[in-house]
Amino acid sequence: METRKAMTTTSSAQDKPSAGDPIPPKCSVIEVHVGELKQLFNSIDPSPFRNKDLDPKAEEFIVGWAKDLPRDATLALVVDLDREAGLPDEAAVLRDAIHEFFGQRAHAYRRRLRELLRVGRTSLVIGLVALASAIALGDFLAGLVKGSRIGEIVRESFTIGGWVSMWRPLEIFLYDWWPIRDEARLSDRLAAMPVRIRYLNAKEPDAWRGDWPALSPRGERATGEAQPGALNQAS
């Protein structure tokens, strides 16, 4: 992938040829500018087209932009591409790959949330047992030296230690779980957003032949290659 400068906001280019999902009105559009589609994806991932991971910088850029938008905003992604159109279904393949990636991202965050809540429940049980034991032991030891200042110090020390054991479950149930839930919900929105390619500049007539998805992850030409079909103008 090119430097971060290659992934910047571009001005509207309604007269440029485009392909992909229609962009709904009043939609918050995330715009990404790349020279080739393969710059959006992890170059070392050998998975099939629709299962490839996004490049970490591309993921960070898209997620960061989405987080800056209102939580109830309808999202859409427009990829400004510095080449002519390639295979007729490349916009659909790109959409499916992006949806699959963010769908898996949402699943991973929900799995992480379930694991965190499981740890929280276990920690809560351990913390409650430790707190009850500390209070009971503190009372017992204080009773052995009744009327002594040392007994009160011992009791308070065990009580404080018992409450310290509650720190982890309280941290999980008060603070740790909701950022993970928000990430999962954001990924759900990104996994459902329309995706459109806008073709800006034609470098070479056959530049698309060396780009994804015309080129497989192993560098082999994709089967069923066809000439580009007619493109709709951006609405």
Are 34 and 1 in contact, with CB atoms under 8 Å apart? yes
Question: Residue 2's closest CA among 59, 45, 78, 55?
Answer: 55
Q: Residues 178, 197: one domain?
A: no
- 49 vs 27, higher pLDDT: 27
Q: Residues 170, 198: one domain?
A: no
Calculate what percentage of the chain has a pLDDT beyond 90. Answer: 51
Q: Residues 139, 86: one domain?
A: no
Q: Residues 135, 219: one domain?
A: no
Q: Residues 82, 21: one domain?
A: yes
Secondary-structure percent of the chain, ordered helix, strand, coil, rounded to 5: 50, 10, 35
Q: How far is CA 123 from CA 56, 173, 184, 188, in A?
A: 33, 11, 24, 30
To which residue do tokens 């070479």 refer? 204
Q: Residues 170, 200: one domain?
A: no
Q: How many CB atoms lie within 10 A of CB 73?
A: 13
Q: What is the pLDDT of residue 231?
A: 39
Range of the domain at 36: 4-109+189-233
> What are the pLDDT digits (tens) for 195-210?
999 988 765 655 555 5
Q: How confident is the model at residue 145 (pLDDT cuts 50, 70, 90)?
A: confident
Beta carbons within 8 Å of 166's beta carbon, 6+ residues apart: 124, 127, 128, 130, 131
Long-range contacts at 207-211 (CB < 8 A, ≥ 24 apart) = 207/36, 207/83, 207/84, 208/83, 208/84, 208/85, 208/86, 208/87, 208/90, 209/86, 210/36, 211/36, 211/37, 211/38, 211/83, 211/86
Residue 124 predicted with pLDDT over 90: yes
CA angle 15, 209, 33 (to 5 degrees): 45
- 155 vs 181, higher pLDDT: 181
Q: Residues 12, 80: one domain?
A: yes
**What's the domain count of the chain?**
2
> What are the pLDDT digits (tens) for 63-82?
999 999 999 999 999 999 88
Q: Residues 173, 211: one domain?
A: no
> What are the pLDDT digits (tens) for 12-34?
445 678 888 999 988 999 999 98
Q: Residues 93, 198: one domain?
A: yes
3-state SS assignment for residue 221: strand
Q: Residues 89, 204: one domain?
A: yes
Q: Residues 123, 102: one domain?
A: no
Q: Residues 54, 163: one domain?
A: no
Beta carbons within 8 Å of 11's beta carbon, 6+ residues apart: none
